[in-house]
Structure 1
Amino acid sequence: MNEKVTTEQESMDAYMIRAIIKAKNKEKAAEKKLIRVGFLVIFSLISLTVYVFKNWMHWFQVEGSIFQTIITDPYILFLTILFIITFAWLQQVTLKFEKAEKDYDQLKEDMIDRAADIWSSPDDWKKRPDIFRELKEKHDINLYHK
């Protein structure tokens, strides 16, 4: 019976460690995607701004309404739609990143709070600093504090 408890304990340790590593990797991937999409939004906004400034004087020289000239310009329409789409995508990716960050933080806090239960035996408790150090060095997961 004692052997079964030890096996269950080891599997719980390994499960929790795998879960927190998976959550951290998911958070890192979401952060990278957020940065890439952010650059796309900035690029589309810069493209729109450069095009507007480049053609600003031309629009004033054309007969008719400047508003009508801007609205009928296909490049303005394309760049504006591109900016709106990338901005909406950025909002969606931001929500996913915040969810991944929240999940990771909750798992980390739970693991810190339940450390005494997870590493309940004296031998496991002695191995805990080595596991924490390895998680910090390899995966940038700091379980020493919330």
Structure 2
Amino acid sequence: MGSELNQLDRFADEPTRQMLRGLIKRKQKYENYARQTFRWQAAAIICAASFCLFIAAKGLGQSGFLSEMLNDSIYLFWILSAAFAYSTAYYFKKKEEKAEGEYHKLRCEIIQKSTDLWPQPEMWKSRETVFKLMKQQYDINLYFESK
């Protein structure tokens, strides 16, 4: 991360580089939470599907099925596993939404303040280099505010 931004010494001043580093960190944090959310959602679906398959294999139409289900600990295991995976996915989804908001807010701030960050006309040309680098290296769009 640092080497690409260090080559921006001639294109941006230190406060601007700090903002860009912060933006990259927020994007990585957001992407990490998105991956965790996806993993736990997949785990919840797998647990729920395997529970349904286990019930189907045991025979859904048997008499006394409910009492058997309450007495067998494997059913409780699958139910708790699915509930845990779902609640963890929900937790990471909330974290992901918060991180996305922070990332988007800083990204929009950089876009709005670009005239202040690159004030001179010759520096304004270097702005394009910075924006291209951020797009190519980190997939961060600094051209438009929309997500």
Question: Normalization by structure 2: what TM-score?
Answer: 0.86
SS of match in other structure, 2:62: helix
Q: How far 1:30 sits from its partner (Å)?
A: 1.1
> Is 1:29 the counterpart of 2:32 in the alignment?
yes
Question: Normalization by structure 1: what TM-score?
Answer: 0.86
Between the aligned partners of 2:26 and 2:122, the Cα distance in structure 1 is 27
Match of 1:5 in 2: none
Q: How far 1:16 sits from its partner (Å)?
A: 1.1
SS of match in other structure, 1:90: helix
Instruction: For 1:98-117, list aligned pairs within 5 A.
Output: 98-117=97-116
Between the aligned partners of 1:71 and 1:92, the Cα distance in structure 2 is 28
Match of 1:71 in 2: 70
CA contact (8 A) 2:43 2:85 kept: yes
Moved over 4 A (4+): none
Unaligned regions of 5+ residues in structure 1, if any? Answer: 1-8
> Is 1:20 the counterpart of 2:19 in the alignment?
no
Match of 2:62 in 1: 60
Fraction of identical pairs, as percent? 25
Between the aligned partners of 2:21 and 2:66, the Cα distance in structure 1 is 58
Match of 1:3 in 2: none
Match of 1:38 in 2: 41
Instruction: For 1:1-20, list aligned pairs within 5 A.
Output: 10-20=13-23
SS of match in other structure, 1:144: coil
Unaligned regions of 5+ residues in structure 2, if any? Answer: 1-11
- Pairing partner for 2:52 from 45, 49, 52: 49
Larger Rg: 1
SS of match in other structure, 1:15: helix
CA contact (8 A) 2:51 2:78 kept: yes
* More helix by percentage: 1
